[in-house]
Amino acid sequence: MITFAQIAIVFIFAFLVALIFRILKQPLIISYIFTGLILSNLFLKLPETKNLISLFSELGVAFLLFVVGLELKLKTLREISTPAIIIGVLQEFLTILAGFFVAKLIGFATLPALYLGAALSFSSTIIMIKLITDKGDLEKLYGKLAIGFLIVQDLITILILFFLPILSQSNLFFDPLKIIFSIFLLFFIPLFSIKIFPKIENFLAKSEEFLFLFSIAFGLGIGSLFKYLGFGLEAGALIAGVSLSNLASSPEITSKLKPLRDFFLILFFVFIGSEIFISSFDEFLPQALILSLFVLIGNPLIMLLILGPLGFKSKTSFLLGLTSAQISEFSFILINLGIKLGHLDQEILSLTALIGLITIFISTYLFVYAEKIYSILKPALKIFERKKTIKEKEAEKFYEIILFGCDRIGSYFLEIFKNLAGQFLVIDYNFAKVKQLEKENYNVLYGDASEVEFLNELNFDKAKLIISTIPDYETNLLILKEYKTRNPLGIFVATAYKIEDALDLYNQDTDYIIMPHFLGGKYASEIVEDFVYDKARYLKLKDEHLKDLKEKINKGYKHPKAKT
């Protein structure tokens, strides 16, 4: 009989292994797999222990997809730029196809090869967002594109997980009524939730504990119903999350469920590790190495082949390619689902886990040292880059004022520049924003200011004023040096969040530094000093501020996400 002490040992051991991986600056996901691998040779072989951890791991998958559904709002789809959609769809299709043929070449049957092709195409959103955030690159072009294409990839992944149980021949042959009823529920549950739950939300949200209990009951209940009907627990949990995503309290539900999700997901990856058969390593190690090389080299290469014809610089393509050089937590979920459906043998999970350990471990270091690796490979990578794009030709025109970044701070400069006689150019790496400004007849250019090759093609010689609303220190320093080298008398205005960055940029001959937090505080203090106790003036200013904020929302301006 399983004891409390045995579960405690799992978590204590998981912490000790995670500590080692933390020191090595590795994602903790592979430490959990290692934990399962090691403990499987100790007490995880006990049937009751393994059965309980298997149950907990299933709950981890359910909570993961439930939380994904809660965060999956329709407006998210509208916020994804066109390039990200193109990249995501092409990357998935080409990688699944290439992975399928590689798996077939090394001896896998058609169905396992198809599963492996799909599993190798998934990139870990959790790991990559963490790595990009740690590098401070969320505001760079490749960072923006990575977030967009990873969201698209997750949507495709979810669709595969959703429809796979339906496409199982046994379900279609034996239970056609269940399939029809499930498809009815697929549309009915979200519509019912949208109509009914907002009306009772106040009652549910009066107690945080009651709201938490309701969300768990709803998520697991719908998940169990769909599992019984043949759709799979994953599909039901996702539908339950989407059904609650439009509630005003959905962020609160999400925040409360995430610790629960993480608890059970740890056990899911421990379970994956426990399923690795070390005795079979000799049999599938060569296959694991070949498929790992495909992920580490083939996936980034496919990304370069996609991004080159789209007109992106080789550096952007290379950095974005590295975000696909590891497999995802969804890869394990897909393979696990294939085993449950009887499509795959248990050994495939061991193979996938080994590929995960290799690719996640190596790709982390590849990403950390990406800049140095790019400088070495730069001459070879130029073959994937188009010589010139239409947008770059437009950059050769003469503009007196150049504005880098037109979101938030930049939007106010746009209003001022409308009244200036001299021509001005707006440069941004948000494709949707560029298209919007083009419709409004602005001179706008799609590009990444952190690319020295892109800056070289801009006509800085006659630009009298350059304003950068990009808060990244290295990007501003790059623009400054490029601009002052060609036009020493030009005026450069930059943006910084840190005092240290501002002081250094001033020492480097920047003419003025915008520091939003200090400027905002100074402006607010001057308002209070002027208004004091005059409530009528505060209310008047409030109305003006509300009007301005609503206009910003209508135009698609967003506040930057906090770094974690």
User: What pLDDT was estimated at residue 103?
Assistant: 92
Decide: 157 and 330 in contact? Cβ < 8 Å. yes
User: What pLDDT was estimated at residue 390?
Assistant: 44
Mean pLDDT calculated for residue range 181-203? 79
The dihedral through the CA atoms of 173, 174, 176, 181 has a sign that is: negative
What is the model's pTM? 0.63
Cα dist. 18→26, 28, 270, 274 in Å? Answer: 9, 6, 12, 16
User: What pLDDT was estimated at residue 259?
Assistant: 85
Mean pLDDT calculated for residue range 352-361? 86
**Residue whose tokens read 């590849």:** 366
Q: Of the ranges 13-27, 136-150, 211-225, 329-343, which one carries the lowest mean pLDDT score?
A: 136-150
Mean pLDDT calculated for residue range 254-264? 83
Confidence category of residue 78, pLDDT binned at 50, 70, 90: low
Confidence category of residue 293, pLDDT binned at 50, 70, 90: very high
The Cα–Cα gap between 335 and 299 comes to 19
User: Is the pLDDT assigned to residue 98 strictly greater than 90?
Assistant: yes
SS3 content of the chain, % helix, strand, coil (to 5): 70, 5, 25
Extract long-range pairs of 137-141: CB within 8 Å, 24+ residues apart: 138/560, 138/561, 138/563, 139/470, 139/471, 139/472, 139/560, 140/429, 140/448, 140/450, 140/472, 140/475, 141/316, 141/429, 141/447, 141/448, 141/450, 141/451
Decide: 146 and 138 in contact? Cβ < 8 Å. no
Cα dist. 553→80, 85, 498, 550 in Å? Answer: 16, 23, 27, 5
Give, for 467, the enclosing helix (H) or strand (E): strand 465-468
Average pLDDT over the chain, rounded to whole?
79
Which two tokens mark 330? 């969804």
Decide: 319 and 374 in contact? Cβ < 8 Å. yes
Q: Of the ranges 131-140, 194-203, 517-526, which one carries the lowest mean pLDDT score?
A: 131-140
Q: Residue 504 carries which side chain, given as an amino acid letter?
A: D
Q: What are phi and psi of 494, to 5 degrees?
A: -120, 175
Mean pLDDT calculated for residue range 348-373? 85
pLDDT tens-place string over residues 6-34:
778 888 888 998 899 888 877 777 788 88
Mean pLDDT calculated for residue range 386-402? 63
User: What pLDDT was estimated at residue 100?
Assistant: 93
**pLDDT exceeding 70 applies to what percent of the chain?**
83
Mean pLDDT calculated for residue range 393-418? 75
Measured at the alpha carbon of residue 304, what is the angle toward residues 360 and 354, in degrees to the nearest 5?
20
Confidence category of residue 104, pLDDT binned at 50, 70, 90: very high
Domains belonging to the chain, first-starting first, are: 4-383 (1.20.1530.20), 390-514 (3.40.50.720)
Mean pLDDT calculated for residue range 547-564? 61
User: What pLDDT was estimated at residue 72?
Assistant: 66
Which two tokens mark 438? 């083009």
Confidence category of residue 296, pLDDT binned at 50, 70, 90: very high
Cβ neighbours of residue 367 under 8 Å, at least 6 residues apart? 131, 135, 322, 323, 325
Cβ neighbours of residue 466 under 8 Å, at least 6 residues apart? 401, 402, 403, 404, 460, 479, 483, 490, 491, 492, 493
User: Is the pLDDT assigned to residue 148 strictly greater than 80?
Assistant: no
User: Is the pLDDT assigned to residue 470 strictly greater than 50?
Assistant: yes
pLDDT tens-place string over residues 152-178:
887 788 778 777 776 664 544 445 666
Which two tokens mark 192? 């019912």
User: What pLDDT was estimated at residue 172?
Assistant: 42
User: How crowded is the C-beta side of 480, counted as CA atoms within 13 Å?
Assistant: 23
**Pairing of β 424-428 and β 465-468:** unpaired
Mean pLDDT calculated for residue range 307-332? 82
User: Is the pLDDT assigned to residue 41 strictly greater than 70?
Assistant: no
Cα dist. 543→4, 198, 204, 539, 553 in Å? Answer: 59, 28, 33, 6, 15
User: What pLDDT was estimated at residue 217?
Assistant: 92
- 36, β-bridge pairs: none
Confidence category of residue 2, pLDDT binned at 50, 70, 90: low
User: Is the pLDDT assigned to residue 372 strictly greater than 80?
Assistant: yes
Decide: 461 and 397 in contact? Cβ < 8 Å. no
Highest mean pLDDT among 117-121, 261-265, 307-311, 520-524: 117-121
Mean pLDDT calculated for residue range 449-465? 79
Cβ neighbours of residue 481 under 8 Å, at least 6 residues apart? 508
User: What pLDDT was estimated at residue 143?
Assistant: 76
The Cα–Cα gap between 104 and 88 comes to 24
End-to-end CA distance of the chain: 41
User: What pLDDT was estimated at residue 551?
Assistant: 75
User: Is the pLDDT assigned to residue 549 strictly greater than 60?
Assistant: yes
User: Is the pLDDT assigned to residue 562 strictly greater than 50?
Assistant: no
Which two tokens mark 7? 């579960």
The Cα–Cα gap between 147 and 277 comes to 35
The Cα–Cα gap between 451 and 498 comes to 22
